[in-house]
Structure 1
Amino acid sequence: MIIGTAGHIDHGKTTLVRALTGVDTDRLPEEKKRGISIELGYAFLDVPQSTQRIGFIDVPGHERLVHTMLAGATGIDFGLLLVAADDGVMPQTREHLAVLSLLGVQRGAVVITKADRADADRLAAVRADVGQLLQHSSLQGAPVFALSAHTGEGVEALREHLYEQARQLGERAPDGRAFRLAVDRAFTLDGVGTVVTGTVHAGRVAVGDELVLSPGPGARVRVRSLHAQNRPVEQAAAGQRCAVGLAGIAKQDIERGQWLVHPACALATDRIDATLTLWHEEAKALRSGTPVHVHIGAASVPGSVAVLDRETLPPGETARVQLVLRAPVGAWHGDRVVLRDASASRTLAGGTVLDPFAPVRYRRTAQRLAELDALAQPGLAGRVAGLLAVAPYGVDLRRLAAAQGLESTQPLADVLPAAALHLHDARADLALGETQATAVRASVVEALSAYHQRHPDELGPDAARLRRLAQPRMPEALWRHLLVLLQADGTLAVRGAFVHLPAHGVRLSAVDQRIAQKVAPRLAESGFEGCWARDLARDCGESEPLMRTTLARLAQRGELHQVVKDLYYSVETMAKLAALARQLAGQSERLAVTAAAFRDATGLGRKRAIQILEYFDRIGLLRRVGDEHRLRTDSTLFAEEAA
């Protein structure tokens, strides 16, 4: 269990921790000189007859150092709010209570310190003030202990209470999330090297693991050594104070506020959608555009607030908001955030991250608010089902897994509704709800019916054009997967690159069939060069207009390929060219084909090689990226012919 002390300056936080644990958490010369905590201090206490160890985070009480207090408060399990008997409730007492409440700390106690300096009437008055202070806070109803760390009176009763709370809390059960530690200190130790400390928010880590610092350049570091709850260990887990010795990075390359995370869930964001509650003691409502300081993990970043689901956020109420930050931070679903005012002198609000991948546009639409409602569901299965129910174009499970702090998409796949459509391969991991899949099916049939009515002499549009007509915003990988399924169940038919309804087809006349028989051997003989319509008309003794009409009809039926105007290839030849393109792409790390490589492999001129590659781009075998044509690994075009 991690306990965070909180309270006004000089109300005895460090002294109490020393009385409970025997450890002086003031470790800096400046702290010793001034008699106050400036940095975070740590101490530990073993729970009798248990393997548990309680960790204490002693935080500064001075108003100017509240940002340091926030860095230590995130991730605590239990809050100790201290009030000196002689001073009573003071400004930072209120601020620290607001921080604990807005961070969602539900377990805690109040300690009236310096009880030896007050008589019974004074202690009763302070108790009454404390009871009033706790109203409308997360610690309402918390037990109150009066003690004196100087004389020892009442210290043992508090210690026994903390033991009991630790036993009740027990060890945190693994929840499947990846390892994340909020870095609040970094230093160098002789014989160890670079060390970072912080609270483990999720997951487990072991000596030898590779991690990354986020935000950061993404370079991996190796765990050289571990201390959890101030003991050397081979593994550490969520809920522990942890010191991690790192290989592969220098102390000056680490900053407080970064996260040490598993590589699979490393992310950095400057827009966060969240649920936010304005502190009930605020004098006025929170408006969109209000400048704030955003505290998340151990980071503090200036930014602004946009209220999404109402005009303003009144004191004591909760709303959906977007936090727009001036610098990127690490943030995951469920992380707690605290907002202070622009001058960082007053705590305003707190809440919970819903989505670290907040959109720039359409952030207030009914669709987006429905997605945030889904993300607010308490369980992973509920969030996945909720998103599938409102996402018309499906859910990117890899993106969602990273936002949820998961190492892989498997936990998401495990809770997918049975009727959901799931595409999982090397390039994509996407899911579509049953209702949405039915709607896509209807839109495809409707688009094809309309196309056939407008163009009765054509077989149908190619797959890329059909997507633009029916589902232009659907991810292309999911679209092509859906086409395969619709073809398999007979909803549509695919011939070459063209898609059509099974009942529709371009019929050949007797003249068309006669000309088709004449051109077939010539197209086969032409090889990779292909045949021009005028040359075929001349060689077959047919008029050019009739030849062009017949060739176009054959191409519409998928029996020929028209690469550019009047240039045709047989299906067999185009399959060989596609196989070459696939082979060349397989030799590249980016699965890319260049015009030069394709030219050399086919023996064609540069112009013709480019024409063929651009045709493959149009029909969905390749995708143009700069000067390269990258293979679409989800495309099944020519796969059967190649086999």
Structure 2
Amino acid sequence: MEHIVIGTAGHVDHGKTTLIKAMTGIETDTTIEEKTRGLSINLGFAYMNLPSGKRAGIVDVPGHEKFIKNMMAGLSGLHLILLVIDAGEGIMPQTKEHIDILQMLGIKNYIIVITKINTVDIELLELVEEDIQEQLQGTLLEGSPICKVDSLSGTGIKELIDKMDEISNTIERSNSFVPPRMHIDRVFSVNGFGTIVTGTLIEGTIRVNDELMVYPKGLRVKIRNIQVHEQNVSDASAGMRVALNLANAQVKDLSRGDTLALPHSVQKSWLLDVKASLLAHTDMPIKLWDRSRLYIGTKEILCRVVPIGIEKLQPGEEAFLQLRLEEEIVAKKGDKFILRSYSPMHVIGGGVILDAVPKKHRRFNENIIETLKTLDKGSYQEMIADFIARKVELLTSMEEVASYLGNSQEEIAEMMADMISRNELIKINQQYMHTLKYEQFKKEMTAILQRFHKSFRLRTGIAKEELRSRIAPNVKGKDFDRILQIAEEEKLIKIHETISLREFKVTYNKYQLKDKEEIEQKLKQAGYTPPSEAELIGTIKERKELIDSLIGKSIVRLDHETVIYKDYYDTAIQKVTDFIKGKGKMTLAEFRDMTGSSRKYSMLILECFDKNKITKRVENYRVMY
């Protein structure tokens, strides 16, 4: 099932929580204080199935100014925003601040939801809609669809849900083929289970028993259990809202704002180099050493601002800044952030991280300024790496990269060859794979093989096509073969008729050894007229897996219900080869006489030869392939 995460935004008491209850039946105000005061203090969560079958997680964020930091924590990883506006009040101060925040975070998909429409007359409703459209001009929300609803009566709710479903088809999917990362937005405990954290998985894939690191604390934890919308699951991918039961962690060890990631996949830092813009309607410029509040992911942190290349950042302008933090943080290049003034608190700007682990800079050093300009623009190789890493598909062609950058394939080929030499990219036939994606591929493949070996201890491994269907269904067979070959060269897996982990070996207990000997003896005695597999299994169902484990070793499978002793099969190949080399061709009857078999089994053996490209049928004869 495909998952998306939807958030609400808007002024206090404009009906966000009531709207979510009307759509989902779930009340997101859960605390006594929230119910008594009639406003959302903390983040609330609900979910629903859209008409197309997608599962939508919904984050109800607070609208009151005092709780706006909770609102920003809820915006991490959202795909679609419902901007909720009361038909009787229109756009209010908190609505405007929410709009500023949404734009700074670069969220692209919106629906404007006018609520409480049954409380106003048609003329006022039309005036409110016109005013909203006018005030949204020049913002990212300009032109967004408008839905008019009344949550208490249900008016317009179906149409809103249909519009959410329609927009969900255009939402860019999150990337599952990079190391996982999640910002924690809630920490609590459940009796009998222990520590639980929630958040939206913004990148990668996680599985039960995965070991992760809590940053910036450096605490190693293990995932005991994963829930997605109150359902236990074995894994979760980027874009899903998850609740994780963590081992090796107590509630007191964790807090909102912490980041869960693979060990060594991110770095801690006291500094950030950023490109920031200051809102045009803010009152004051940003000057050297101003104290500000930084919001990134689900974390709020105090910082000092150092303008780079300028004396101060004026309202409506953008510039490079170095943020000197009062606590350690983990982030990545490209992450978005919000700045609020220290006191009184209001949103003043935001931007994007250019370097998550910089050194302290001189403010007017031309080399530093040029470096930041390059990071802002992104070198061609950085843009190539980012495009291939963030693309949902596992492999990328050179044509796709050239089209994305607008450069010739000759120019791109030279840059990509250099990236391959630095182990940033891997060439897979005529396609390319980011090293991060390959590492994630190996992790997922290892997990699949470990589960397979645990479930089927007597099978040599998983069929290649079954493995491909589970991990890379859209990758062509020859490209998948090449990826497997690289993994085999790294001594991770073994490739034979099936795929297994390199260290895996089939081992038999004394009862299985006895059954194995009996099966092989029956096939030896039967020669070229073997008993059916059902006859070999008899009443001992476990023999089915035992027979499968012997395929390619002492047994050869002719079809889905017939096996033959491998020595007879190999002897038949030699007899056929010698006969055809001498006569030029061979009939079914000649093969039957040669082996003393029946017509039925002779046909099965020859058809198996044909399938394995030993012989080839021409009219009523066989020739060598």
Q: 1:145 aligns with which of 144, 147, 150?
A: 147
**CA shift in 2, pair 1:368/1:229, >3 Å:** farther
AA in 2 matched with 1:127: E
Contact persistence 1:198–1:241 (CA under 8 A): yes
SS at match of 2:84: strand
- Per the alignment, residue 94 of structure 1 pairs with 96
AA in 2 matched with 1:195: I
SS at match of 1:82: strand
**CA shift in 2, pair 1:172/1:75, >3 Å:** closer
**CA shift in 2, pair 1:225/1:363, >3 Å:** farther
AA in 2 matched with 1:38: I
- Per the alignment, residue 296 of structure 2 pairs with 296
- Per the alignment, residue 228 of structure 1 pairs with 228
**Which whole-Å CA distance do the structure 2 matches of 1:421 and 1:368 have between them?**
28
**CA shift in 2, pair 1:254/1:158, >3 Å:** same
Contact persistence 2:309–2:363 (CA under 8 A): no
AA in 2 matched with 1:211: L
Report the alpha carbon displacement of residue 247 of structure 1 after superposing the two structures with TM: 0.4
**Which whole-Å CA distance do the structure 2 matches of 1:344 and 1:415 have between them?**
53
Report the alpha carbon displacement of residue 415 of structure 1 after superposing the two structures with TM: 9.8
**CA shift in 2, pair 1:370/1:162, >3 Å:** same
- Per the alignment, residue 35 of structure 2 pairs with 32
1:582-621 aligned at under 5 Å gives the runs none
1:67-466 aligned at under 5 Å gives the runs 67-169=69-171, 171-174=173-176, 176-216=177-217, 218-343=218-343, 345-362=345-362, 364-377=364-377, 381-383=381-383, 418=417
Contact persistence 1:381–1:416 (CA under 8 A): yes
Contact persistence 1:74–1:336 (CA under 8 A): no
Contact persistence 2:195–2:251 (CA under 8 A): yes
AA in 1 matched with 2:180: F
**CA shift in 2, pair 1:79/1:421, >3 Å:** closer
Deviations 1:70-120 (A, max 9, x none): 111122111111111112221111111111111111110111111111111
AA in 2 matched with 1:15: T
**Which whole-Å CA distance do the structure 1 matches of 2:385 and 2:111 have between them?**
39
**CA shift in 2, pair 1:106/1:344, >3 Å:** farther
- Per the alignment, residue 490 of structure 2 pairs with none
**CA shift in 2, pair 1:331/1:173, >3 Å:** closer
Report the alpha carbon displacement of residue 337 of structure 1 after superposing the two structures with TM: 0.5
Say whether residues 1:11 and 2:14 are aligned partners. yes
Report the alpha carbon displacement of residue 189 of structure 1 after superposing the two structures with TM: 1.2
**Which whole-Å CA distance do the structure 2 matches of 1:268 and 1:380 have between them?**
27
TM-score by structure 1 length?
0.58
SS at match of 2:8: strand
**Which whole-Å CA distance do the structure 2 matches of 1:49 and 1:421 have between them?**
41
AA in 1 matched with 2:154: G
- Per the alignment, residue 51 of structure 2 pairs with 48
**CA shift in 2, pair 1:421/1:151, >3 Å:** closer
Deviations 1:353-397 (A, max 9, x none): 1111121133542222232233234688335899xxxxxxxxxxx
**CA shift in 2, pair 1:385/1:179, >3 Å:** closer
Report the alpha carbon displacement of residue 136 of structure 1 after superposing the two structures with TM: 2.8
SS at match of 1:8: coil
**Which whole-Å CA distance do the structure 1 matches of 2:415 and 2:118 have between them?**
61
**Which whole-Å CA distance do the structure 1 matches of 2:230 and 2:377 have between them?**
36
Contact persistence 1:303–1:326 (CA under 8 A): yes
**CA shift in 2, pair 1:128/1:253, >3 Å:** same
**CA shift in 2, pair 1:53/1:423, >3 Å:** closer
TM-score by structure 2 length?
0.60
- Per the alignment, residue 395 of structure 2 pairs with none
AA in 2 matched with 1:212: M
Report the alpha carbon displacement of residue 215 of structure 1 after superposing the two structures with TM: 0.9
**Which whole-Å CA distance do the structure 2 matches of 1:343 and 1:18 have between them?**
35
Farther off after superposition, 366-375 or 33-42? 366-375
**Which whole-Å CA distance do the structure 2 matches of 1:254 and 1:173 have between them?**
26
Unaligned runs of 5+ in 2: 390-412, 424-625
**CA shift in 2, pair 1:66/1:385, >3 Å:** closer
Contact persistence 1:54–1:229 (CA under 8 A): no
Q: Name which one, 1 or 2, has greater alpha-carbon Rg.
A: 1
**Which whole-Å CA distance do the structure 2 matches of 1:169 and 1:420 have between them?**
30
AA in 2 matched with 1:372: L
Report the alpha carbon displacement of residue 225 of structure 1 after superposing the two structures with TM: 0.6
SS at match of 1:142: coil
Contact persistence 1:279–1:315 (CA under 8 A): yes
**Which whole-Å CA distance do the structure 2 matches of 1:13 and 1:257 have between them?**
24
Report the alpha carbon displacement of residue 8 of structure 1 after superposing the two structures with TM: 0.9
Contact persistence 1:294–1:300 (CA under 8 A): yes
Contact persistence 2:276–2:319 (CA under 8 A): yes
Say whether residues 1:61 and 2:63 are aligned partners. yes
AA in 2 matched with 1:235: D
**Which whole-Å CA distance do the structure 1 matches of 2:381 and 2:5 have between them?**
29
1:486-497 aligned at under 5 Å gives the runs none
**Which whole-Å CA distance do the structure 2 matches of 1:58 and 1:379 have between them?**
39
RMSD, aligned α-carbons:
2.4
**Which whole-Å CA distance do the structure 2 matches of 1:321 and 1:6 have between them?**
29
AA in 2 matched with 1:111: V
SS at match of 1:132: helix
**Which whole-Å CA distance do the structure 2 matches of 1:299 and 1:360 have between them?**
23
AA in 2 matched with 1:196: V
AA in 1 matched with 2:146: V
Contact persistence 1:381–1:415 (CA under 8 A): no
**Which whole-Å CA distance do the structure 1 matches of 2:161 and 2:379 have between them?**
35
Contact persistence 1:212–1:262 (CA under 8 A): yes
- Per the alignment, residue 604 of structure 1 pairs with none
**CA shift in 2, pair 1:367/1:73, >3 Å:** same
SS at match of 2:27: coil
Deviations 1:161-216 (A, max 9, x none): 00111222264343x43111100100111232111001112111111110011010
**CA shift in 2, pair 1:380/1:26, >3 Å:** farther
Report the alpha carbon displacement of residue 34 of structure 1 after superposing the two structures with TM: 1.4
**Which whole-Å CA distance do the structure 2 matches of 1:384 and 1:363 have between them?**
30
**CA shift in 2, pair 1:307/1:230, >3 Å:** farther
SS at match of 2:40: coil
Contact persistence 2:175–2:204 (CA under 8 A): no
SS at match of 2:77: coil
Report the alpha carbon displacement of residue 47 of structure 1 after superposing the two structures with TM: 2.2
